[in-house]
Chain A
Amino acid sequence: MSTPFYVSPQQAMADRAEYARKGIARGRSLVVLQYADGIVFVGENPSRALHKFSEIYDRIGFAAAGKYNEYENLRIGGVRYADLRGYTYDRDDVTARGLANVYAQTLGTIFSSAAEKPYEVELVVAEVGETPEGDQIYRLPHDGSIVDEHGSVAVGGNAEQISSYLDQRHQDGMTLAEALKLAVQALSRDTNGSQREIPAERLEVAVLDRTRPQKRKFKRITGRQLARLLDADGASSATDAEDETTEDE
């Protein structure tokens, strides 16, 4: 039996981080933005059935970039965690903060355990509040750290570039159509700065809409509604803005 080479902990961690980051970078990036009535998830996804975004609980949504089977596993774990917690205590006791902590612990333990390979995933857990100030967005990188985000967030291989593009242009109180268009613009910029077209049928879009009368605020936006929002010009977004001001009063 041969003696294994000594690898310093720093080097081991750096190798694991690089492995995870490379895995995540293979997939397409996705973005999560706050808009006036909630939070919108936008990503490029050619599949109709294998979702990147999904509902976890009443006000909580989930987005993931990276390896499908790994984030799907985490997603189902999250649904089980939320449903069990809501069943044991009350529906109001299920929070994005609690869920994000559980995910962070899970990812962190896997990342630093030598027996397991690190997960090649980056997650976003978002909860829509009663008001925009109550919205919560948490980004969870592969190593189990946790970042509290505001306004906009991007995850995936090209995330840094997309994030800085969004940071410059995202504003509070955007309409859904405006936020969606900004997200699509950010996603369709390539690493070298050139633009490419993402057709509507390759987009996966979902919202956590605080104005929905149902307790469950998660909703997918597809087909005609998506096309209408993408086509919406300045006029319709102006009327949307008027509606909001009257609601605010």
Chain B
Amino acid sequence: MEANTRSTGRLPAAFLTPGSSSFMDFLAEHQPELLPGKRQLPPTQGVIEAPHGTTIVAATFPGGVVLAGDRRATMGNVIAQRDIEKVFPADEYSAVGIAGTAGLAVEMVKLFQLELEHFEKVEGAQLSLEGKANRLSTMIRSNLGMAMQGLAVVPLFAGYDVDRGKGRIFSYDVTGGRSEEQGYAATGSGSIFARGAMKKLFRADLTEDQATTLVVQALYDAADDDSATGGPDVARRIYPIVTVITEDGFRRLTEDEASEIARSILERRLEQPDGPRAALL
């Protein structure tokens, strides 16, 4: 609320004090009340009802990584939103997809994007992919208080590691625990089904097109068995968000591209409802 008076007049001393390149550190010193993790929590009983995002999946392929998410947000047994976006670019070479409490998740992504951008502008160089992943860990950890009240945020972070020349995936738990995943990963309520689907379809030598098809197949299977995950909505033209990160940077598939993948999968599923078969041995 002081931001108004600060917008005119001289830059406050805190702005001109040499210090950390982190925007979060700056906020913590200058206006800590703006940090989500510093918020005072009122005592509550039971679980707070808020829209939840559900399934996010990711898979690597030689030369990059694919991150995709369904579009449904649920509140209990009600569909709160049909076209929610849960996959965002974090910066030029990474993306983050978020399952859990939608409002907090979107706020966290906004702060995370800003954190990476701020560092890049101040230092004149990008953080390493590990550095970005660690920063996200810190942010989830600061949300632990709210996670304990049922407002958990569980992201999946994927990016192209410019130094190693390959795509990498990091998954998190509510306490901020971070682990690197090999090949493919999923988070959210439909993740067990999505992971099962990817386990059978994933190969290390997928092409980019195959990888995007793989993640949409996995989302379809998640939606098939988890009521909180939304499948491709052909009637309303709402398709999963699919993003690809390679050496050329972040790219989100256009609606046409995403619809083409989703429609071809739907067509096959009309003949074979359980999807593609893996060889028995």
Which residues on the A side are within 8 Å of B148 (C-beta)? none
Interface residues of B in 13-30 (CB under 8 A from A): 15-16, 18, 23, 26-27, 30
Asked if A77 and B16 make an inter-chain contact with CB atoms under 8 angstroms apart, the answer reads: yes
Asked if A105 and B3 make an inter-chain contact with CB atoms under 8 angstroms apart, the answer reads: no
Which residues on the B side are within 8 Å of A54 (C-beta)? 121, 124
Indicate which residue in B7, B18, B27 contacts A73 across the interface (CB closer than 8 Å). B18
Asked if A80 and B8 make an inter-chain contact with CB atoms under 8 angstroms apart, the answer reads: no
Shortest beta-carbon distance, B133 to chain A, in Å? 21
Which residues on the B side are within 8 Å of A74 (C-beta)? 11, 16
Q: List 27 A-B contacts (CB under 8 A).
A: A49-B124, A54-B124, A55-B121, A73-B18, A76-B16, A77-B11, A77-B16, A79-B118, A79-B122, A80-B23, A80-B26, A80-B118, A81-B15, A83-B23, A83-B118, A86-B114, A87-B27, A87-B34, A87-B111, A87-B114, A88-B3, A89-B3, A101-B8, A102-B8, A105-B11, A106-B11, A106-B16
A113 to B, closest residue via Cβ: B10
Interface residues of B in 60-75 (CB under 8 A from A): none
Which residues on the A side are within 8 Å of B268 (C-beta)? none
Shortest beta-carbon distance, B9 to chain A, in Å? 5
Interface residues of B in 73-126 (CB under 8 A from A): 110-111, 114, 117-118, 121-122, 124
Given A51-B124, A102-B11, do A83 and B114 touch, yes or no (CB 8 Å)?
Answer: yes
Which residues on the B side are within 8 Å of A89 (C-beta)? 3
Indicate which residue in A79, A80, A88, A109 contacts B10 across the interface (CB closer than 8 Å). A109
A132 vs B7: C-alpha distance when bound (angstroms): 27
A218 vs B15: C-alpha distance when bound (angstroms): 22
Which residues on the B side are within 8 Å of A76 (C-beta)? 15-16, 18, 122
Shortest beta-carbon distance, A106 to chain B, in Å? 5
Contact with A along B130-144 (1 / 0, CB 8 A): 000000000000000
Instruction: Tell me if A181 counts as interface (CB < 8 A to partner B).
Output: no
B110 to A, closest residue via Cβ: A87
Given A51-B124, A79-B121, A79-B122, do A85 and B16 touch, yes or no (CB 8 Å)?
Answer: no
A103 vs B122: C-alpha distance when bound (angstroms): 17
Asked if B10 and A102 make an inter-chain contact with CB atoms under 8 angstroms apart, the answer reads: yes
Considering only CB atoms and an 8 Å cut-off, how many residues of chain B contact the other chain? 23
A79 vs B122: C-alpha distance when bound (angstroms): 7
Asked if B11 and A81 make an inter-chain contact with CB atoms under 8 angstroms apart, the answer reads: yes
Shortest beta-carbon distance, A215 to chain B, in Å? 10
Contact with B along A65-86 (1 / 0, CB 8 A): 0000000011011111101111
Shortest beta-carbon distance, B261 to chain A, in Å? 23
Instruction: Tell me if B31 counts as interface (CB < 8 A to partner A).
Output: yes
A78 vs B10: C-alpha distance when bound (angstroms): 11
A77 vs B17: C-alpha distance when bound (angstroms): 8
A79 vs B124: C-alpha distance when bound (angstroms): 12
Which residues in A have some Cβ–Cβ distance to B below 8 Å? 49, 51, 54-56, 73-74, 76-81, 83-89, 98, 101-103, 105-106, 109, 216
Given A54-B121, A74-B16, A76-B122, do A105 and B34 touch, yes or no (CB 8 Å)?
Answer: no
Which residues on the A side are within 8 Å of B114 (C-beta)? 83, 86-87
B14 to A, closest residue via Cβ: A80
A83 vs B121: C-alpha distance when bound (angstroms): 10
Shortest beta-carbon distance, A143 to chain B, in Å? 14
The residue among A76, A86, A106, A216 with the most chain B CB atoms within 10 A of its own CB is A76
Asked if B10 and A106 make an inter-chain contact with CB atoms under 8 angstroms apart, the answer reads: yes
Which residues on the A side are within 8 Å of B122 (C-beta)? 76, 79
Asked if B15 and A77 make an inter-chain contact with CB atoms under 8 angstroms apart, the answer reads: yes
Asked if A105 and B9 make an inter-chain contact with CB atoms under 8 angstroms apart, the answer reads: yes
Which residues on the A side are within 8 Å of B16 (C-beta)? 73-74, 76-77, 106
Shortest beta-carbon distance, B22 to chain A, in Å? 11
A112 vs B34: C-alpha distance when bound (angstroms): 33
Shortest beta-carbon distance, B13 to chain A, in Å? 10
B31 to A, closest residue via Cβ: A84
Which residues on the A side are within 8 Å of B3 (C-beta)? 84-85, 88-89
A184 vs B68: C-alpha distance when bound (angstroms): 47
A80 to B, closest residue via Cβ: B15
Contact with A along B21-45 (1 / 0, CB 8 A): 0010011001100100000000000
When A and B form their complex, which 3 residue pairs have the shortest distance between CB atoms, in order from nearest?
A77-B15, A105-B10, A77-B11
A101 vs B30: C-alpha distance when bound (angstroms): 21
Shortest beta-carbon distance, A17 to chain B, in Å? 19
A80 vs B11: C-alpha distance when bound (angstroms): 10
The residue among B16, B114, B121, B124 with the most chain A CB atoms within 10 A of its own CB is B121
Which residues on the A side are within 8 Å of B8 (C-beta)? 101-102, 105
